Amino acid sequence: MTEKTILEIAGLYKRFGAFTALHSIDLEVYEGEFLTIVGPSGSGKTTLIRLFVGMDEPTDGTIWLRGRRIDTVPANQRPTCMVFQSLALFPHMTVGRNIEFPLKISGVDAATRRQRALDLLDLLHLPREYYDKRIHQCSGGERQRVALARALAFDPEILFFDEPLSALDYRLRKTLEKELKDLHARTGKTFVYITHSLEEAMVMSDRIAIMRAGRFEQIGPADEIYSRPASRFVAEFMGEVNLFPVQADDDGAVRADGLALDPGVAERLGLKAGAAGMLMVRPENVTMVNGSGAAEPGPAPEITVGGHLRAEYNLGSRLQYEVEGPSGQRLTVETLREGRFGGSPGDAVTLGWTLDRCHLIHGE
């Protein structure tokens, strides 16, 4: 099925005096997708979403919704809605009145408003009795659901979310992540979500857009960005990673930082003569291939590196090992609990993996 673009951003700039917050942003959002924009503080995420919903005006560039230019349209006339981190619910109103508010200001009659609010309570798994409940009587998770119901009340084309779960405790946040993903599937709406949490992005998204210093570093499905990052920044931002500089000499011979490569592996890397790169391997794709612990079953490693065991960390269902590499760098290995390595701090170890378990980042 061909993906249909619902929102298109072209050449978007935003400047605040001499500071440029966004640098020529281009983006297509597909109808019905869950797109999450992730990046560190100051990367431009919130500035971008404020432009989407009309809270700020772009310095340059255009925003198009279904082929209609909307960057010049006032916020209250755009068929979009925003769920804020603060939720912005009205504490003096009941749950039902909060949900109905956007319908009331649009002139919808009382009976229709009430029925829509009750239907949305059902959709968000809240009892209908909550219609008359005061907001201050609701828990944090219930308030989140009320805010979502209000956002859906007038059937927006796109829902934008500005870190709505960041103030919640860990267990509630994990529950609501799954509920948001389920809500997205049940409504078929287009969701554009802003967060600094990689976990939220990985759990919920169809695609992830990584921002850095007002630009997109990479946009793609979560698995693609995690396994095949376009840059060192993306590789490190997406979680624990082991990185090794590699260099192809003018004659094509490959030099790697402390790595031993099986015959033929260097050629299969695809590094051109005279070029440099960074070989990336995630901790869960690395095994211990010697020492007092048994290596995990699987194909023989094609790339190995020696080091010394420094520490073991218990992550619950998994174990993480810290190893000091040949250049003093910190290397990380993760395994299931049943794959516990029997070594002790200070032991010499060899780490290994196959070529298909790593990724070459060009030009680093």
Task: For residue 361, give Cα distances in angstroms to 111, 209, 330.
Answer: 59, 18, 19
Contact of 230 with 218, CB cutoff 8 Å:
yes
The overall average pLDDT reported for the chain is: 90
Q: What is the pLDDT of residue 352?
A: 94
Highest mean pLDDT of the ranges 7-21, 240-254, 262-276: 7-21
pLDDT tens, position by position, 283-312: 999 998 875 444 455 678 999 999 999 999
279 DSSP β-pair partners: 244, 360
Return the HEC string of the chain.
CCCCEEEEEEEEEEEECCEEEEEEEEEEEECCCEEEEECCCCCCHHHHHHHHHCCCCCCEEEEEECCEECCCCCHHHCCEEEECCCCCCCCCCEHHHHHHHHHHHCCCCHHHHHHHHHHHHHHCCCCHHHHHCEHHHCCHHHHHHHHHHHHHCCCCCEEEEECCCCCCCHHHHHHHHHHHHHHHHHHCCEEEEEECCHHHHHHHCCEEEEEECCEEEEEECHHHHHHCCCCHHHHHHCCCCEEEEEEECCCCCEEECCCEECCCHHHHCCCCCCCEEEEEECHHHCEECCCCCCCCCCCCCCEEEEEEEEEEEECCCEEEEEEECCCCCEEEEEEEHHHCCCCCCCCEEEEEECHHHEEEEECC
Give this prediction's pTM.
0.87
> Comparing 11-20, 96-105, 227-236, 247-256, which segment has the lowest mean pLDDT?
247-256
pLDDT cut 70: percent of the chain above it: 97
Q: What is the pLDDT of residue 292?
A: 43
Q: What is the pLDDT of residue 293?
A: 43
Q: What is the pLDDT of residue 118?
A: 95
Q: Summarize the confidence of residues 86-111 as an average pLDDT.
A: 89
Q: Summarize the confidence of residues 261-277 as an average pLDDT.
A: 84
Q: Summarize the confidence of residues 191-210 as an average pLDDT.
A: 92
pLDDT tens, position by position, 333-362: 999 988 888 888 999 999 999 999 999 998
Q: What is the pLDDT of residue 1?
A: 41
What is the C-alpha to C-alpha distance for residues 208 and 362, in angstroms, rounded to an integer? 21
Q: What is the pLDDT of residue 268?
A: 86
Residue 2 confidence (pLDDT) above 80: no
> 364: pLDDT confidence band, cut at 50, 70 and 90?
low
> 165: pLDDT confidence band, cut at 50, 70 and 90?
confident
Tell me the domains of the chain and their CATH numbers: 5-235 (3.40.50.300), 240-362 (2.40.50.100)
> 96: pLDDT confidence band, cut at 50, 70 and 90?
very high
Q: Summarize the confidence of residues 320-334 as an average pLDDT.
A: 94
